[in-house]
Amino acid sequence: MIDWMAKYGATLANTFGSPRRVLARGEGTHVWDVEGRCYTDFLSGIAVNVLGHCHAAVLGAVSAQLGTLDHVSNFFASVPQIQLAERLAGLVGATPVRVFLTNSGTEANEAGFKLARLTGRKRIVAMEGAFHGRTLGALALTWTAKYREPFEPLPGGVEFIPFGDFGALAAAVDETVAAVVVEPVQGENGVIPAPDGYLAAARAACDAAGALLWVDEVQTGLGRCGEWLVSVADGVIPDIVTLAKGLGNGFPVGACLAVGPAADLFTPGSHGTTFGGNPVAAAAALAVLDTLRDEGLVAAANAKGLRLSEAVLALGNPGIVGVRGRGLLRGIVLADPIAPAVNDALLARGWIANAPRPNVIRVAPPLIVAEDELVAFADALGEAVEEVRNAG
Ligand SMILES: *Cc1c(COP(=O)(O)O)cnc(C)c1O
C-alpha cells in the first residue's frame, strides 16, 4: 500500500502541518479516505461545499462548459461571466454594482484593498480577530500576529479596533479613513458574530465620514449564514462586498462587488487577472446559485442551524457551554481548552469538524445536510467531549 502521508510530507510545502487524512472520494455530505473509511463532512472544506460533494448540478455545468468554451483572456468576454456578474449584483439590492471576478477569497480582498486605495485616502480600519486571507494585502488586514509578522513590512495604513465595540468604531472613522472592513461573523476567530446593529453602526460611521464600508462575506455569504448576504439581510448595503468560499462549491471562484459610487473606482488598467471570471468557474458558480435558489437552501440553513444548536444544547453536557453563530456556521464553545482533542475524537467517530480556537469546535456542514445528521452529530460531539474530559 502506498504511504500517501509520507509522500505528502516529503513533497508538499510545509504550510499546513500534517494532513488529518488523505481523501479519495466524496458524495453529498460524505467523503472517503484512501483506506476506504467514510466520514460525514461537517466542515465542507471550510465552508465551501454548500451543496455537498460532487453535486450533479455543478458536475453537469462544469463538464458542459469545459466542452464548450474553457478559457478566454480578459480581452474577451464570455456569457457565463456576464451572467454570473448579473446574478451577484442582484444580491445587493442597490445599483450600480460592478463585479470583479477572482479565483479565491484573498484575491477578492486584494481587489477590495485596491478599491479602498483608489479613494485617495490612506487609512483602513480593520477588526481585531479578523481574517481576510494570506496574500500580502489581505494579510495586512488580518489580525493574527503570527500570520502577519514574519512578512512585514506589509501594506501600511491599517489600524485594528476591537470587533463589536461601537465606541471604538465611532472614534476611529473620520474623513481620513478610506474604508472600514468587517466580517459579519468572524469565522476563523471562532465563529464570533458581530453584535446586533454593529454593521448598521459601521454603515452610519462610514456615511458620516465619506468612507467605504467593506463587508467581507467570503465565509458568511451565499447561504452559509441563512442569508444570501448577511449585510443586506441586516439592512445594510455595503460599498464593497467580497465573496468566495461557497460560490463555486469547491471550484475556485471569488468576487469583489463594488456598489454605488465605488463601482466607478476601477478603470481600465487599474486591476486585472488571467483566470478570474473564466467561463468554467462562472458556470460552476451559476449552477451553485441556481441550486441554492431552486431548492430553498438559503432559508433552510436558518432552521437547520437552529436544529443543530438545539440538539447540542439538549445534551446538557457540562463540557459544552454554548453554541454561537448564524445559519449553518456554528461555533460550539467548550468549557475547557480541549477543542483539538475533541476534534480528533470526532474524526475517530467519522465526523469532520475543526477547532479554530482552543475551546471552540466549528461546524459548517453542507446546506443540503439532513436533520438526522444534525442530531447524530450532536450525539457524537457529546460522546467526544465526554471521552476527552474523562481522559483528562
Ligand atoms: C477564507 C477567508 C478568506 C480567504 O479566502 P481564500 O480563498 O482562502 O483566499 C478571506 N476572508 C474570510 C472572511 C475568509 O473566511
| Whether residue 259 sits in one domain with residue 213 | yes
Q: What is the structure's pLDDT at 1?
A: 85
| Whether residue 89 sits in one domain with residue 75 | yes
| Whether residue 199 sits in one domain with residue 300 | no
Helical residues (DSSP H) of 210-353, grouped into ranges: 230-233, 279-294, 297-314, 339-348
Q: How far apart are the CA of 272 and the centre of ligand 1, in A?
A: 19
| Whether residue 112 sits in one domain with residue 186 | yes
Task: Write down which residue in 236, 259, 294 finishes a domain.
Answer: 294
Question: Beta-carbon neighbour count of residue 384 at 10 Å?
Answer: 25
| 291 Cβ inside 6 Å of ligand 1 | no
Q: Quick one: CA dihedral 213, 259, 109, 287, positive or negative?
A: positive
Tally of domains in the chain: 2
| Whether residue 260 sits in one domain with residue 338 | no
| Whether residue 131 sits in one domain with residue 113 | yes
Q: Which residues of 344-356 are buried (b: 16+ CB within 10 A; e: fewer)?
A: ebbbebebbbbbb
345 is in which domain, residue-wise?
4-54+296-391
| Whether residue 314 sits in one domain with residue 261 | no
| Whether residue 154 sits in one domain with residue 218 | yes
Share of the chain above pLDDT 90, in %: 99
| Whether residue 212 sits in one domain with residue 73 | yes
| 188 Cβ inside 6 Å of ligand 1 | yes
Q: Which is it for strands 23-27 and 30-33: parallel, antiparallel or unpaired?
A: antiparallel
CATH label of the domain that carries residue 268: 3.40.640.10
Could you tell me how many residues make up the chain? 392
> What type of residue sits at position 272?
G
CB 245 within 8 A of CB 251: no
CA-186 nearest atom, ligand 1:
13
| Whether residue 219 sits in one domain with residue 83 | yes
Q: Which of 113, 131, 163, 251 is catalytic?
A: 131
Query: What are the tens digits of pLDDT across the range 63-87?
Result: 999 999 999 999 999 999 999 999 9
Q: Report d(CA 236, CA 51) in Å as an integer.
A: 27
Q: How crowded is the C-beta side of 89, counted as CA atoms within 13 Å?
A: 17
Q: How far apart are the CA of 133 and the centre of ligand 1, in A?
A: 5
What is the grid cell recorded at 49?
461545499
Q: pTM for this structure?
A: 0.98
CA-219 nearest atom, ligand 1:
15
Query: What are the tens digits of pLDDT across the range 286-331?
Result: 999 999 999 999 999 999 999 999 999 999 999 999 999 999 999 9
| 326 Cβ inside 6 Å of ligand 1 | no
Task: Write down which residue in 294, 316, 341 finishes a domain.
Answer: 294
Q: What is the structure's pLDDT at 392?
A: 79
| Whether residue 79 sits in one domain with residue 30 | no
| Whether residue 142 sits in one domain with residue 15 | no
CA-216 nearest atom, ligand 1:
13
Q: Point out the residues of the chain with pLDDT beneath 70.
A: none
What SS3 state is found at 28? strand
Grid coordinates 468557474 are at which residue? 281
Is 245 noted as a catalytic residue in this protein? yes
What is the grid cell recorded at 345?
475524537
Is 379 noted as a catalytic residue in this protein? no
Query: What are the tens digits of pLDDT across the range 322-349?
Result: 999 999 999 999 999 999 999 999 999 9
Q: Which of 41, 100, 113, 216 is catalytic?
A: 216
Task: Write down which residue in 294, 327, 353 finishes a domain.
Answer: 294
Is 372 noted as a catalytic residue in this protein? no
Grid coordinates 473564466 are at which residue? 278
| 253 Cβ inside 6 Å of ligand 1 | no
